[in-house]
Amino acid sequence: MTSEPTFLDRTSATETSAVNERHFSALQRGEASVDRIASVRISHAILPLKTSISDAKVLTGRQKPMTEIAFLFAEITTEAGFEGVGYSYSKRAGGKGQYAHAREIAPDLIGEDPNDIQRIWTKLVWAGASVGRSGLSTQAIAAFDIALWDLKAKRAGLPLAKLLGAHRDSVACYNTSGGFLSSSIEEVLENSSAAIERGIGGIKVKVGQPDTRIDLRRVAAIREHLGEDFPLMVDANQQWNRSTAIRMGRKLEEFELTWIEEPLDAYDAEGHADLARELATPIATGEMLTSVAEHAELIWHRSVDFIQPDAPRVGGITPFLKIMSLGEHARVRMAPHFAMEIHLHLAAAYEHDPWVEHFEWLEPLFNERLDIADGRMIVPARPGLGFSLSDQARAWTSDAERFGSDV
């Protein structure tokens, strides 16, 4: 029996070439795309803190107390009616600069396929490459990138953690907001008890005061209050030099800390590597870095036991995933900084037993809340990142602009 002629049997070389040419042309035009970005709304909002906050950078005179946080929100809508929400932020100066840069590059999103997130990220970076490919410019891009990942997961009907491929449905969480140096030791102890009662699984407190003896007395009191086995972390906010960090690190070893955070300048990869080799207590740092390359330097030098990237600071989820890959390969643990609404999903998708940081400061911005139980923050079942902007966030908005057309 004669077999049916194949497509190539029935088609001449000229016709085949024409078909391939038309197919390539269609792909170039994006005809494989199933949707397009129709509109982008950006807004600048100021979140006032209930009390003024101080850490070691304030006590050493390098910064003023923090009274508010500036947010850049991006809301992206597609022709098919899908929506995504993302944000970036700035503590103290920089928020208006993020908004200004976002305003310049937002029109470049219109008409793009929202699924092509890596390509869009690269396009936006090159749009403002003359002012750099890290720092403020990519922090503006982060709001768009995070919104696109939120949208993609919503389209799939999955929490972002599940879209990425989760290792777990909950992540160990620790509280930071109750342990600042602007609080008395009595307040810190009270805040710790309240956090534990809420279900928090670890407590982090600030150190780095000019008089290190005060730090040691505070840590001793907190350790006694928590008990021997409860996870306790300390954060020096980059205020020690190398010799002080070694001396303090050795004195702190008796308290069985989960980690010492930012003992040195954020860019001192070699110094952190020396500490990681010398001290029994794990070293954590990375929150102040603003690129994949800077985190790669820490990992390459074996400077960290816990890497602490911040998705809004490094340019969004797209570069954050690259840092995750580097960290997983090096088998370091991860404890993302701040932004728990985003980082819970990313930590859930990280291989090596991560932590996520709990701050209740941002809760008024969103309609939803994250659940905590038995020391762990639970990944919400809601699609995407699982949060939406509240009326209060709208009320705190000082500037906003929309690009594109209504769906």
Closest to 273 (Cα-Cα) out of 291, 256, 297, 293: 297
Catalytic-labelled residue, pool 44, 57, 295, 337: 337
Calculated CA dihedral for residues 331, 379, 95, 100, nearest 10 degrees? 100
Q: Is 251 exposed, middle or buried (0-12, 13-18, 19+ CB in 10 A)?
A: middle
User: Cα dihedral sign for 99, 163, 165, 28?
Assistant: negative
Phi, psi angles (nearest 5°) of residue 359: -130, 125
Read off the tokens for 57.
């950078």
Do residues 141 and 121 touch, judged by C-beta distance below 8 A? yes
Closest to 364 (Cα-Cα) out of 393, 399, 339: 393
- Number of residues assigned to the chain: 407
Rounded Cα distance, 348 and 330, in Å: 18
**DSSP track, 169-190:** SEEEEEE-TT--TTS-HHHHHH
Catalytic-labelled residue, pool 206, 272, 295, 322: 206
Active site residue 337: yes
Read off the tokens for 406.
């209504």
Phi, psi angles (nearest 5°) of residue 145: -60, -45
Do residues 68 and 96 touch, judged by C-beta distance below 8 A? no
CB atoms within 10 A of CB 233: 23
Active site residue 64: no
Closest to 72 (Cα-Cα) out of 397, 402, 387: 397
One-letter amino acid identity for 72? Answer: L
3-class DSSP assignment, residue 298: helix
**Active-site positions?**
206, 337
